[in-house]
Amino acid sequence: MKDGFRFERFGSVGAFPLVALTKRKAGPRPRIYLSAGIHGDEPAPPLALLELVESGILDARAVWFLCPLLNPDGLARGTRENASGVDLNRDYRHLGAPETCAHAGWLARQPNFDLAICVHEDWESTGFYLYELNPDGRPSLAEPMVASASRVCPVDPSPVIEGREARGGIIRPPFDPAGREKWPESIYLQVHHTRLSYTIESPSALPLSTRIAALRAALGAAIDRTAGPRR
C-alpha cells in the first residue's frame, strides 16, 4: 500500500473490517499512534487521517500506528454509537463491545507509544479545542497544536468546555482512571500504552473541508515537534 503502510485487519463488525495501518522502520524513532472514527457521526477525523497518509507527511521520521475507523458500523449509519447503541468511547474500562475488545487486542501486540492522538469532532463547539493527558509533565504539544489549528478555524474561547475548565481551547483534566467508571479510549491508552496523549476536536458546524484542514494542521504540528521537521 501507499508509502509502505501495512494494512492489518484486526477484527470485523457486521459487514465491516476493523483495520490498522502501520509503518515501521529500523532504528530508533518516535512511535506515534493516531486514531479516528470511534464516533460514527464525526466524519472529518477518518478523512483527515486518510489525507495525512496520502500526503506523505507520515514519513520515515517516525514509526506509525493508525486506527483510522474504530466504529465503521456507526459511520455507515451516521450514529455516534455502534450498531448496538454503545458509545465505544465510554467502553474502554470493561471492553464490552466487539470493537473495543478487538482494538485492545491489537493494541496489546504493539510497543508503547511516545505520543497518542485520538481525533474527534464536536457538534456543540464553536471552535477547535483539545484535551491533554500528560501526568509526567513532558513538553506539551497543546499550544503548538492549537496555534496551528487557529490558522484554519476559530478556537473555542470558553472557560468551561464539556463541563471542564479550559483555557485557550486547552483542557487538562486530572488523570484519574480509578475514579472513572467509563473510560474513553484516551484513558485506556494512557493506562496501558503511552504517557502522553491528546484528544483533539474540530467544530462540526464548520464546513467539512475546514474541519479536516484544522485537524490536519493540529496533527502536523504535533508530528513535527515529536519527530522533527520534514526533510
Binding residues for Zn ion (CB under 5 A)? 39, 42, 120
Of 137, 141, 138, give the one whose Cα is nearest residue 149.
141
Q: Which is nearer to Zn ion, 61 or 211 (CB)?
A: 211
Q: Are 3 and 53 in contact (CB under 8 A)?
A: yes
Give the whole-angstrom CA distance, residue 227 versus residue 83: 37
Taking the complex as a whole, how short is the minimal distance between the CB of residue 208 and Zn ion, in angstroms? 15
**SS3 category, 29:** coil
CB-wise, 38 or 63, nearer to Zn ion? 38
- Smallest distance from Zn ion to CB 90, Å: 11
Measured from the CB atom, is 148 or 202 closer to Zn ion?
202
Q: Which is nearer to Zn ion, 61 or 120 (CB)?
A: 120
| Closest among 32, 6, 25 to 189, alpha carbons compared | 32
Partners of 12 in beta bridges: 17
Least Å distance, CB 42 to Zn ion, is 5
d(CA 133, CA 83): 30
Residue number, 120 or 211, with CB nearest to Zn ion: 120
Closest distance between Zn ion and the C-beta of residue 118, in Å?
8
Answer yes or no: are the C-beta atoms of 225 and 138 closer than 8 Å: no
Instruction: Give min distance, CB of 69 to Zn ion, in A.
Output: 13
- Helices within 27-162 (DSSP H only): 44-55, 72-77, 98-108, 142-150
